[in-house]
Chains A and B, each alone.
Chain A
Amino acid sequence: MKYLDEFRKKEPFQAILSKIQSLPPTAISLMEVCGTHTVSISKSGLRSLLPPGIRLISGPGCPVCVTSLEDVDRVIMLAEEGRKNKRYIIATFGDMMRVPGSHSSLLKEKAKGADIRILYSPADALTLAREHPEKEVVFFAVGFETTSPTFAATILQAQREGLNNFSIISNNKLIPPAMEVLLEDRETTIDGFLCPGHVSAIIGTAPYQRIVDRYQKGCVVSGFEPLDLILSTYWLMLQKKDATPRVEIEYSRVVHTEGNVKALALLNQVYDIADASWRGFGVIPQSGLVLKDAFSSYDGTKKFDLPTPEVATPHGCQCGQVLKGMITPRECPLFAKRCTPTDPVGACMVSSEGTCAAYYKYEQ
């Protein structure tokens, strides 16, 4: 396919690899914070091709994975209530279905008879709402800055149509605050970030400039193909060698410094920034997106009296440590033994973008 095959060629990959090999040996830890990067790095075998000392680690880049257990439990309980009162249709992205809650999962509730739909786009929920005026369509919204504007656009469309049986439970989150939390943590070692391509398409590079200024860590916005990832890695190594941390855009065919101005305006119109709870991190201040009061009638957290779940963390699950890049999946005692994609214990093994799922599939 055009603009794809050219970025997967072997010869330039080998050429950049030999440039990397010609640099003086160094210990460097580079983190990506994007589920699509996680999968692409595992699939390309990049990690094993790089010289020893170069660590590519995965951070909290999978939105399904970082959703807190309590937030998962709450929607499972709403689905259970919906099964009894027949009033709700719960909508969510496919990967969310099998995420284990404390006592159940959305998939199990669906098997028991709850009306839960897997949708590809938030816009599809409006189709459901139009077809079922007697029911409330509630979207369990998870995502970062790439996904959040799609929910914003959908809510504005619902408003234009006067649809009043559609709402979202926003677990939408912001990536840069999590990156800063990781840099503040004394137990982590991060020399630079492979910044997420499509989050950056929306937010631009200003948040990364802040990271460079405050923490003197390099930030390279990377595309998703093997050539993008190895070039970005090379640039971050050069930055470290020359002690010149800065923001660079490798994925310049899609990302601009200022981001997507229209999408950013929609985010500002629809959401307020609030504290949010992340799996493995706890509460990160000012890292979540909640609907502004003007959009309360689309806010599931205000429309319903959501239950407070009793959370029971699965014994031995190291998902939190994996999400912070402190351990690799292979270091978790449950990995590929008690925890597999067919019978997952933690969210990181469920989502196709999860670090554990990527290691299980490509790097065992």
Chain B
Amino acid sequence: MRTMCLAVPLEVVDVKDNLATVSFGSTTREVYLDLMDTVAVGDFIIVHAGFAIEKLDKEEAAKTLALFKEVMDEIS
């Protein structure tokens, strides 16, 4: 994890106090949760400079993917 801004949502596998453990490829990494309200195991979080900055909204992700499909259907 060399880049500061990582545009990859990472899955939370453990939470203890203000630290989450996220899976990152074949390894794990600890992430500070000071900027978050609640984070639970199974959430996907966006990590920046060692801190979680936001949680991924799975419903919204599905909506955007549905929009892509809509455009594809329109074209074909």
A12–B35 touching, CB < 8 Å: no
Most buried by A among B7, B32, B46, B57: B7
Within 8 A of A (CB), among B1-25: 1-5, 7-9, 11
- Return the chain B residue nearest A225 by Cβ: B7
B68–A12 touching, CB < 8 Å: yes
Question: B58: which A residues are within 8 A, CB to CB?
Answer: 253
The listed residue (B37, B49, B57) touching A147 by CB distance below 8 A is: B49
| Cα-based distance from A40 to B75 in the complex (angstroms) | 26
B65–A6 touching, CB < 8 Å: yes
| Interface assignment of B64: CB less than 8 Å from any CB of chain A | yes
Known A-B contacts A147-B4, A157-B34; A2 and B9 likewise in contact (beta carbons under 8 Å)? yes
B1–A120 touching, CB < 8 Å: yes
- Return the chain A residue nearest B34 by Cβ: A153
| Interface assignment of B56: CB less than 8 Å from any CB of chain A | yes
Please give the distance in Å from A139's CB to the nearest CB on chain B. 11
| Interface assignment of A189: CB less than 8 Å from any CB of chain B | no
Known A-B contacts A223-B7, A252-B57; A198 and B50 likewise in contact (beta carbons under 8 Å)? no
Known A-B contacts A150-B35, A153-B35; A120 and B49 likewise in contact (beta carbons under 8 Å)? yes
Within 8 A of A (CB), among B39-76: 44, 46, 48-51, 53-54, 56-58, 60-61, 63-65, 67-69, 71-72, 74-76
Secondary structure dominating the interface of B: mixed
A197–B7 touching, CB < 8 Å: yes
| Cα-based distance from A16 to B64 in the complex (angstroms) | 13
Within 8 A of B (CB), among A189-240: 197-198, 201-202, 223-225, 227, 231
Please give the distance in Å from B42's CB to the nearest CB on chain A. 11
Question: B54: which A residues are within 8 A, CB to CB?
Answer: 198, 201, 254-255, 260
A4–B68 touching, CB < 8 Å: no
Question: B65: which A residues are within 8 A, CB to CB?
Answer: 6-7
| Cα-based distance from A68 to B48 in the complex (angstroms) | 23
Q: Can you report 23 A-B residue pairs in the complex whose CB atoms are below 8 A from each other? A: A1-B8, A2-B11, A3-B61, A11-B72, A12-B72, A15-B76, A16-B68, A19-B71, A35-B5, A94-B4, A146-B48, A146-B53, A150-B32, A150-B51, A157-B34, A198-B48, A198-B53, A225-B7, A254-B56, A262-B36, A262-B37, A263-B53, A352-B3
- Mark B residues whose CB is within 8 Å of A: 1-5, 7-9, 11, 32, 34-37, 44, 46, 48-51, 53-54, 56-58, 60-61, 63-65, 67-69, 71-72, 74-76
